[in-house]
Amino acid sequence: MISYKESLKILKETDALLEGHFILSSGLHSAKYVQCAQLMRKPWEAYKICSSLVEKISKEFSDIDLILTPAIGGIVVGYEIGRILKKETVFCERVENKLVLRRDFQIKKNSNVLIVEDVITTGKSSLECSDLVLSSNANIIGYACIIDRSSGKSKINGKIISQVAIDIPSYTKENIPESLLKIKAVKPGSRGL
């Protein structure tokens, strides 16, 4: 298992963890931005993070039947976790602004499902995945992610296993710190910004 410090180093070196002035998909501002897609473009580095996360998952959850991940950010992470654990892995996609199962993917009744994401912030996508699991009469055994930046503020009612938990403060437009105002704001991300 790799350390927290080594994990942060990999995330920074792959540009998965950036510093600057960012406008998040929520509209809030932050001095740090997480984009795990940058990590996944270097599979040899992603493998180090994912295999370490698998060690943590294996210590917490012993009876996983299926891994479910939201598209797009979680697909590669879920695939890698599923490959290492040798577990079936499926993803859901957003159709008309709602996550649904497509491509003949199914969640079997009474199966034990681990929901895997790249990053958990508000928990919105994970909770939408939870709805799919529950509507299939299956069991949510927990959640796993590379980076948990929720700081305990997500509405997820279950155990979150992460490789790295980071508290990244965010600010409303009216409360941006002076030091952040001196940096040009950029809108990164994948939700249409």
List pLDDT tens digits, range 67-104: 999 888 788 899 999 999 999 999 988 888 888 788 98
- pTM listed for this prediction: 0.86
> Using one digit for the tens of pLDDT, what is the confidence trace for 144-164?
999 998 887 778 888 899 999
Q: 152: exposed, middle or buried (C-beta count within 10 Å: 0-12, 13-18, 19+)?
A: exposed
Contact indicator for 129, 70 with CB cutoff of 8 Å: yes
pLDDT at 190: 53
Residue 120's CB is within 10 A of a number of other CB atoms, namely 24
pLDDT at 191: 46
Contact indicator for 34, 5 with CB cutoff of 8 Å: no
Contact indicator for 183, 20 with CB cutoff of 8 Å: yes
Domains detected in the chain: 4-181 (3.40.50.2020)
Q: Closest Cα to residue 56, out of 17, 84, 90, 88?
A: 84
